Chain A
Amino acid sequence: MGRSLKIVGGDVYDPANGINGAVKEICIQDGKIVESCKGPAEVIDATNLVVMPGGVDIHTHIASPAVNAARAFRPEDHRHEPVPKKPGMRSGVGGTVPSTFATGYLYTKMGYTTVMDAANAPIGVRHTHEELIDIPIVDKGLYILMGNNEFILKYLKAGEMEKIKRYVAWLLKSLKGYGIKLVNPGGVEQWKYGKDVEGLDDRIYYWDVTARQILKALSWVNESLGLPHPIHLHANRLGIPNNYLTTLDTMRTLEGSRLHMAHTQFHSYGGENWGGFCSKAAEVAEYINAHPNITTDIGQVVFGDATTITADGPWQYRLYKLSKNKWYNLDVEVETGCGIVPYTYREKNYVNAIQWAIGLELFLLIRDPWRVFLSTDHPNGGPFIFYPWVIKLLMDKAFRAEMLKRVHKRVLSDTTLPNLDREYTLSEIAIITRAGPARALGLTRKGHLGVGADADITIYPKDSDREQMFEQPIYVLKDGEVVLREGEIVGSRDGKLLFVVPPDVGEMDPEFKTEFENFYTIEYENFPIDAEDIPNREAIPAGASR
C-alpha cells in the first residue's frame, strides 16, 4: 500500500457528513480517507461526475448452504447468463442465483462494496465462510439464524435469560457472525412437524413458548450484548394475506427497542384471502414513521424470474403448492429450516403487481430515508442487479406512471401508489443505498466519505436516466484501489469478512457439551470456526450494552 490518491472535481454525495452534491476533493491514503494526502498523489478527475460512498446491502442472500442448494438445483437459471473468464477474473454464471465470483463482480459493477448475507443456520456457517472467500472484491458479513434455535427455546421455557445471552454470544463468537437473525420465530420449529404459527401468542409444540416471547428475549439479548446491528427480523406470516396485522403486532411488541424489519413489502398485505389481496403499506408505513426505533429494508419485487430462498419452511411449502413449481426443503437439526422455490413475478398477475406497488408505496410513504433501505431481498423479490431499475422508479415519477399503465389494473384501486408524487433525490438515494444501511449496521467506516472511512467509493456518470446512471459506474474504488473503470473490472481482489466480537459474558455451562452432543450429530469441539480459517477479516467490536 502506501498509495495516495485524490478524487477531484466531482459532485460529492456524502449524506452522513451533510454533503449534498458539493464539489469536493477526496483524499485517500493507504486505503482510508484522509484530510489531505501526504505526498504526490495519483488523481482521478471526477469533473461532471457523481461521487458517493460504495453501496452497502443490508439484506441479501449470496452465500449459504441454502443459496448453494438453489444454485445447484436451478441449472435452467444459469444457462443463458454465462460469465466468461478474463485475465485475473474467474468464469461463472449469472441468473437469479449467480456463482460466487460472478456475485462479487456483479455487485462491484453496480458500485456496491459491502454486502450482508441475511440468513445462516449455525451448523452451515463454516460452509458460508468458504463461499464468501470466493466472492471477490466486496466486504461481507453474515447474520445467524436464532429464532427457532432449540437451545434458545429450551432456555426460554425455563426462564433462563442469562443463559440465552451467553449462548448467543457463544454462537456469534464461535461462528464469526455479524448479527442476530430471526425468521418466522417459532413457526419454523412448528414446521418440523408440518405446522406453522398463526399469531404471536401461539404456543410452540413441546417448548411451550410463543413467538412474542422469542422476539422479546432475543431483542433483550441483542441490546444487552451491545451488538452494532439491532435484531434483524423476518417476521411471522410472511407472504400471507392480512399479515400486516401480525407485522403491526410484532412492531408493537418491541416498541422502544431497536428493530430491523426485513423485506417489509412481504409483510404489508391485506385481504381475507388471495382474492381480496390488497396493500396495507400505508398502515405499516404510518407505524414506522411514528416509531424511530425501527429501520427496514423493503424487499422490492422486480418483474421476471426470481428464486425464493428462505429459512421460512412453512411459507415455502405454501408457495410450492400455490405455484406448483419445484420445491426444495431442508430442515436443519436443532436450528432452523430452509425452503427454495423458483418463482416468476408477472406484471399482469394482480398479486405480483400489487406486491410490486407495495414495495414502492413503502419507499415513498416512509418519510425518513435513514430508516428505509433498498433491497429486493435478493433473490426472493428478484435479483440485486435490478437495484438501478428500482432507483429509477423512486426518482422518476413519469417512469412510475409508465409502469402503472403496464401492470395489472388492480394496482390502481388496491394501492396508494398512483397518488404518490414523491421523487427521491440523489442524496436520498445515497442514504437508502449506503449511508443508512451502514449506520443501521453500526459500520462506522462504511457508507460515508469522512476522514477515517474505508476508501470504498463509487463514481457515477450524471445521467438523467437514473437506471443507466446507477448501472454503469465510471469508477469503483475498494480500500483505495481502483477495481472498476469504465464498466470493466480492472483489479479483482479479495474482500474482507466483517464479524462482530461480542463482549465476554461468561462461558457456557460445563453440561452444555453433553446437551449439545445429545441433540446435534457433531462433536461440540468441532463446532467453532477458527478465525485463521478466514484469510481476510476485520473484527468489529460490540459497543456498550444499551
Chain B
Amino acid sequence: MAEAAAVKAVTDAKDVTVVEGVTCPFCGVCCDDLEVHVVDGKIKDVKNACVLGKDTFMHHLEGWAKPTIKGKPATIDECIDAAAEILAKAKYPLIYGLDSTELNAQRKAIELADLIGANIDHTSSVCHAPSLQAVQTVGISSCTVGEVKNRADLVIFWGCNPAEAHPRHASRYSVTAKGLFTTKGKKDRMVINVDVRPTPTTRMADAFIQIKPNSDYEVFSALRALVKGHELSQPEVGGVAVEEWKTLVEKMKSAKFGTLYWGMGLTMTRGKYMNVLALLTLVQELNRFTKFLSAPMRGHGNVVGMAQVLSWQTGYPFAVNMSRGYPRFNPGEYSVADLLANKEVDAALIVAGDAIGNFPAKMAEHLQSIPMIAIDPKESETTKVATVVIPTAQAGIAAGGMLYRMDHIPLVMKKVVDSPYPSDREVLDRIIAKVSAMKNGGKGAPKPAVKGGG
C-alpha cells in the first residue's frame, strides 16, 4: 500500500516536517485541520483529509503543465511577454476561471481586467451564479456552517450530493457533527434528501423523496402553499403525492432549527435561478413558524473568494464587464457562456480553471479560435490548446494565500512545499506591469495605485 510506504518514509527520512492546521484547497468545505507530512520537500502523507482532499495533495506533482508558446517550449519570461502582448492588443478580452487560486491572485486578475477593460467572470457563472441571481432578487435566510453544527435538528439536502462533492460536510457540520445543542450528533438531527435519483448522500438520510427532473420550481411553489395552509387540488406534485409533501411541511414547521442545503440540481436545470428563488422564498416564509435557514453547497476551490473580492472591488459578484472603464454587470450578456457562444471576445486569459474541459462544445469552439493564455499548475484540455501556457505553483500547496469557505468564512492556505514555478499572483502581477508599460508607450510601468495585501 502506498499509504504504508509513506508512513515508513516519514519514520526513515531525516528532513521530515509535519505541517498542522493546513486548509484544503479542493472544495467549499475548506477543512482546515489537515496534517501534511513533508519529507525532503515532497508530500508523503496527508492526515484528516477526505479522499478528494488527500488526492489533491498526494498527486500534486502529476500532470504538471509546461511553459509553452504556440505549443513550443518557452521560458516563463517569454510566456509572460507573449501573454502581455496578446492582452494589450485585445479589443474585447475575457478573463475567466479563477476558482482554484488564492485571494491575492484573484485580486490581481481584477486589477488586470480594470487595466485592459476586460470582461471578467469565474466558475460561479456555470455553477451557482443562478443562486446568486436568486439572492439578488429575494435575499436569503442563511447561516454559517457552525450554526448547523451547533443547532440544526432538521437538515434537508436538495439537489446536491455532499457525500461525493463535499465529503466532510456531513461529519464536520451537518449530519454527524456534535455541537452546543446537538451533543448526540446524528441522533439529534433528522436528515432528508430530495433529488431526482438516489446518490450516496441518500444513504445518510433518514428519508428520501425522489422527484421528477425539472419539477423543482413547481414543488417549492406547492410547498409554499402548504406552509401557508392552502389545500392543493392535484393529487401529486413533481411525481410525489401531496400527502408526502404535507408530511415534509409538518417536519419543517415543527423543527426547532431547520436548514436546507441545495446544489446544482437546482441551478443547472430548467428554471435555474427561478428554482432557487422559489426555495429561498419558501425558507424565508418558514421563519414565520420557526427558525429556518438555507445555503448553497458551493465551492470548487476558492470560487466563493472570487465572488467576494469581485463584489468588493466592483460591486458585482460575477459577469463583470470593464470595457467602458467602469464595472457593469449583466448575467446572460457578460457571462462567460454567452460571451463565447456569441463569439464576442477576441482574446482570453484562463486562470486556474479548465474552461475547455468543462464548457459546452460551441463555447469551447470559439475559445479555441482566439488567442488564449492559460495560467495553471496542471495540464488540462485548456492548456492543450492554449496559445500561451504559464505553469504556476499550485495555490494551497505550493503557494499560500487566502480562500473562502462556502459560507463566506475566510481562511488561510499554507504553502507546504516549494515549486519551481512562480505563483498565480506573481505571474499576474508581472503581466500587469508589462501591459501597463506597453500602454504607457514603453515608458515603464507605473507603480500600482493601490497595492493588494502582502
Contact = CB atoms under 8 A, between A and B. Distances in A.
Q: Do chains A and B touch in the complex (CB under 8 A)?
A: yes
Contacts of A522: 32, 409, 411
A522 B132 CA distance: 25
B326 to A, nearest CB: 4
A362 B375 CA distance: 58
Interface in B426-454: 446, 449-454
A492 B327 contact: no
Contact of B144 (A69, A123, A534): A123
Residue among A87, A124, A126 with the highest chain B CB neighbour number at 10 A: A126
B172 interface: yes
B142 interface: yes
Given A65-B408, A523-B21, A523-B33, A533 B311 contact: no
A329 interface: yes
Contacts of B452: 133-134
Interface in A506-529: 518-523, 525-526
A78 B312 CA distance: 12
A300 B125 CA distance: 39
Given A72-B311, A75-B136, A123-B144, A194 B449 contact: no
A68 B452 CA distance: 17
Given A124-B410, A333-B150, A327 B453 contact: no
Interface string A319-359: 01000001111111110000011000000000000000000
Contact of A136 (B411, B449, B454): B449
Contact of A68 (B311, B324, B407): B311
Given A72-B132, A332-B144, A492 B449 contact: yes
Nearest to A334: B146
Interface in A191-225: 192-194, 206
A518 B256 CA distance: 21
Interface stretch (B66-74, B82-90, B222-230, B287-295): B287-295
B44 interface: no
A95 B315 contact: yes
A44 B318 CA distance: 45
B311 A85 contact: no
Contacts of A65: 408
A115 to B, nearest CB: 15
Contact of B454 (A91, A327, A532): A532
B21 A525 contact: yes
A521 B308 contact: no
A71 B103 contact: no
A333 B326 contact: no
A87 B436 CA distance: 11
Contacts of A79: 328-329
A205 B356 CA distance: 53
Residue among A77, A129, A329 with the highest chain B CB neighbour number at 10 A: A329
A82 B141 contact: no
Contacts of A493: 449
Interface residues of B, number: 71
B132 to A, nearest CB: 7
B213 interface: no
A121 B402 CA distance: 18
Residue among A68, A97, A492 with the highest chain B CB neighbour number at 10 A: A68
A130 B309 contact: yes
Interface string A475-494: 00000000000000000111
B425 interface: no
A131 interface: yes
B128 interface: no
Interface in A80-132: 82-85, 87-93, 95, 97-101, 123-124, 126-127, 129-131
A396 B173 CA distance: 57
A328 B144 contact: no
Contact of A523 (B32, B114, B137): B32
Interface in B144-186: 144-147, 149-151, 172-173, 178-181
A78 B454 contact: no
A523 B178 CA distance: 15
Interface string A136-169: 1000000000000010000000000000000000
A535 interface: yes
A327 B141 contact: yes
Nearest to A535: B454
Contacts of A124: 408-410
A99 B450 contact: no
B367 to A, nearest CB: 26
B140 interface: yes
Interface residues of A, number: 72
Q: Is the interface of B mostly helix, strand, loop or mixed?
A: mixed
A287 interface: no
A445 interface: no
A414 B276 CA distance: 45
Given A78-B315, A93-B315, A194-B287, A329 B453 contact: no
Contact of A193 (B103, B140, B256, B316): B256
A63 interface: yes
B151 A192 contact: yes
Contact of B145 (A73, A206, A333, A523): A333
B214 to A, nearest CB: 26
Contacts of A78: 315-316, 327, 329
Contact of A82 (B33, B145, B309, B327): B327
A74 interface: yes
A66 to B, nearest CB: 10
A333 B143 contact: yes
Residue among A63, A84, A99 with the highest chain B CB neighbour number at 10 A: A99
A389 interface: no
A88 to B, nearest CB: 4
A93 B410 CA distance: 24
Contacts of A303: none
A333 B308 contact: no
A526 B23 contact: yes
A134 B450 contact: yes
B20 interface: yes
B325 A85 contact: yes
Interface string A418-458: 00000000000000000000000000000000000000000
A211 B207 CA distance: 41
Nearest to A332: B144
B390 interface: no
A268 B407 CA distance: 36
Contacts of B311: 68, 71-72
Nearest to A91: B326
B412 interface: yes
B146 A521 contact: yes
A99 B308 CA distance: 11
Contacts of A130: 103, 309, 312, 402, 410, 453
A278 B290 CA distance: 32
A332 B293 CA distance: 12
A327 to B, nearest CB: 4
A340 B312 contact: no
A209 to B, nearest CB: 15
Contacts of B453: 129-130, 133, 533-535
15 contacts: A72-B132, A84-B324, A85-B114, A99-B312, A101-B450, A124-B409, A126-B410, A127-B408, A130-B402, A150-B180, A193-B291, A194-B291, A334-B146, A519-B179, A533-B454
Interface of A: 63, 65, 68-69, 71-75, 77-79, 82-85, 87-93, 95, 97-101, 123-124, 126-127, 129-131, 133-134, 136, 150, 192-194, 206, 317, 320, 326-334, 340-341, 492-494, 518-523, 525-526, 532-535
Interface of B: 20-21, 23, 32-33, 103, 107, 111, 114, 132, 135-147, 149-151, 172-173, 178-181, 256-257, 284, 287, 290-291, 293, 307-309, 311-317, 322, 324-329, 402, 404, 407-412, 446, 449-454
Given A73-B136, A331-B143, 5 more contacts: A130-B309, A134-B107, A193-B256, A329-B142, A523-B21
- 10 smallest CB-CB distances across A and B, nearest first, come from A333-B146, A82-B326, A93-B315, A326-B139, A331-B143, A72-B311, A78-B315, A88-B449, A327-B139, A126-B410
